[in-house]
Structure 1
Amino acid sequence: MTPAQLSRTALHTLRRAGADAAVLPERVVVEAPPRRGGGDYATGVALRVAARAGRPALETAELLREGLAAEPGIADVRVVGPGFVNVTLSEDARADLVRGLAAGGPPGDPRDRPAVDIARWAAATGEDPAALAVRTARSSSLFRVQYAYARTRAVLRNGRQLGVEPHHDGRAEDGAALLALLADQARVADQARVADQARVEDARAAGPLARHLVAVADAFLDFHDSCPPLPSGDEKPGAAHRGRLALAEATGAVLAGGLSLLGVSAPAHI
């Protein structure tokens, strides 16, 4: 279940619970739980709906919790704080999500072409091309995204050499924040496509997609450092390594697909 699917499910649940259409938003914002308890996703829609309807937020949140808890693919739903609703996917749903992300990304342009890429990235983000030309992770957000993509390809190559193949069993022992960002790629990419189809004159209409890719890259690099996808030393490869490689594979697909939409290359070596 992606954030977009959960958004639609939450709206349908609120309608079934009797919420007036006039107080419902067009789309429910679903995000990674930001310091508000566990789970894979979180939404504060109950706070917004309750405020519009003049009802207690916790009452609305509880109605949403009860409805979502009965949905397939959802293992647990909890009301947190003043009315946030946190959702935990089932292991099968989480594994399906990772597989779908890994399989769904279009291949990126493997050429390393800094001049073209910098110009297009700068047009989307408004960043200084001179700063982007300094190809370090600290100086250039573009380099950070392309480097993260290259790291996903490297760990997968090294994994194959060790005989470790990506396989996510759905457990959320690590990488939950990264997975939530990966899952949100479809929504952000759709917004970029709509902007492109509308022929928006301001090239910065693609800015949200670029910023999302930076967030994915940063989350992956943090994940890579704190939860190494490959065994080291005498460590034996296990299910955790296979699961982390699956997240690396999904990250690579998401980054390549996003860079392709921006007309920016995704070199496997950088």
Structure 2
Amino acid sequence: MTPADVGGAVLAAVAAARDAGELACAPPSDALLTCANGSYGTPLALRLAAAERRPAHEVAELIAKRLPLRAEATGGFLTIKVSGLAESIAADPGYGLAAVPHPDATWPDRPRTFDNPGFRVRYAYARAAAVQRRAGALGVVPGPHEPGDPLETRLLDLLAELPGRAAQAVRESDAGVFTRHLERVADAYHDVYERCPALPRGDEKPDAAHGGRRTLAEAVRISIGNGLQMLGENPRERF
């Protein structure tokens, strides 16, 4: 599930509680989601509890019981466990797209080394695209992704944040916050690419882990590719 999916579910749960007469305050416009360690969190119940003048844990539990997702209420904070982010992004060619203001200049084209953050972003896209080209020939079939390494969880957290950073760049009329986030996504993917390979090596046979990582690579390809286009660049699959 994408952040938009989770946020929509939270707001729908609040609306259902209001319709049932369990809440009386004005409906919120934002679920205030954050993402860490593969889970989404929201302090929305704290804000609603202040307006309702009720205990925050009580409001959080009202929302949690109406969520069609696994949610845990700790005080007034809701933690929501979901899966399938990589699959959702891989199925959404427009993931994260927003009218981010074009910067006067992004990154220089050279040097084409890891000292240049622009190269790291562009090369991450090229690496993710190369995985898709080679995977079919090696018999790696896309499949559900379950993070098996903290590096993968870190990458998923950053992918989940990408639409929010794009929206922030639009609000602030400043592409900088989005550009820096794209660099973090790229750096996280390089770590995953090196440590959690999507393609079998040597005589290794493709398995479910490879299939899931191929899906993750496609999610990265879409996310970084869209990010580069939003900054006024045409993504390149080869260097």
Q: Report the TM range for the smaller structure's normalisation.
A: 0.7 to 0.9
CA displacement at 1:251 relative to structure 2: 0.7
Equivalent of 1:165 in 136, 141, 149: 141
Render the CA deviation track for 1:231-263: whole Å, top value 9, x for unaligned.
Answer: 223432100101001100111011101111110
Structure number with the higher helix fraction is 1
| Contact 1:40 1:176 survives alignment (8 Å) | no
For the structure 1 residues 19 and 143, does the alpha-carbon distance in structure 2 shift closer, same or farther, using more than 3 Å as the test? farther
How far off its partner does 1:41 sit? 1.9
Contact kept? 2:35, 2:161, Cα under 8 Å: no
List gaps (5 residues or longer) in structure 1. Answer: 107-116, 123-128, 196-201
The structural deviation recorded for 1:100 is 4.1
- On the 8 A contact 1:46/1:61 being kept in 2, the answer is yes
- For residues 100 and 14 of structure 1, do their structure 2 counterparts lie closer, same or farther at Cα, with a shift above 3 Å needed? closer
Offset of residue 4 of structure 1: 1.6
Which amino acid in structure 2 is aligned with residue 32 of structure 1? C
Match of 2:175 among 194, 206, 210: 206
TM-score, normalising length: structure 2: 0.78
Structure 1 residue 64 displacement after superposition: 2.0
Match for 2:86 among 74, 98, 111? Answer: 98
Normalised to the residue count of structure 1, the TM-score between the two structures is 0.70
What displacement does 1:215 show?
2.7
Structure 1 residue corresponding to 2:31, chosen from 28, 33, 37: 28
Q: Comparing 241-250 with 6-15, which one deviates more in the overlay?
A: 6-15
How many residue pairs get matched? Answer: 226
Distance 1:83 1:232 in 2: 47
Partner Cα distance (2:111, 2:51) in 1: 49
Equivalent position amino acid for 1:155 in 2: V
* Residue 14 in structure 1 maps to residue 8 in structure 2: no
Change in CA separation of 1:212 and 1:19 when aligned onto 2, cut-off 3 Å: farther
Partner of 2:72: 78
Q: Secondary structure at the match of 2:227?
A: helix
Q: Does 1:152 align with 2:124?
A: no
CA deviation vs aligned residue, 1:108-150 (integer Å, no higher than 9, x gap): xxxxxxxxx995316xxxxxx6xx844432x332222112111
1:262 aligns with 2:220: no
How far did 1:56 drift? 2.7
% identity of equivalent residues: 40
8 Å CA contact 1:166, 1:249 repeated in 2? no
**Residue 241 of structure 1, aligned match among 193, 210, 233:** 210
**2:109 is equivalent to residue 121 of structure 1:** no
Q: 1:25 and 1:164 mapped to 2: Cα distance?
A: 44
Deviation, structure 1 residue 230? 1.8
Tell me the secondary structure at the aligned position of residue 204 of structure 2.
coil
- Cα contact 1:15–1:21 (8 A) shared by 2: no
The letter for the 2-side match of 1:67 is R
Gaps of 5+ in 2: 95-101
The superposition leaves residues 72-92 of structure 1 with CA deviations (integer Å, 9 ceiling, x where unpaired) of xx3x22234x433222236xx
Give the RMSD, CA atoms, in angstroms.
3.0
Change (3 A) 1:83 1:214: farther
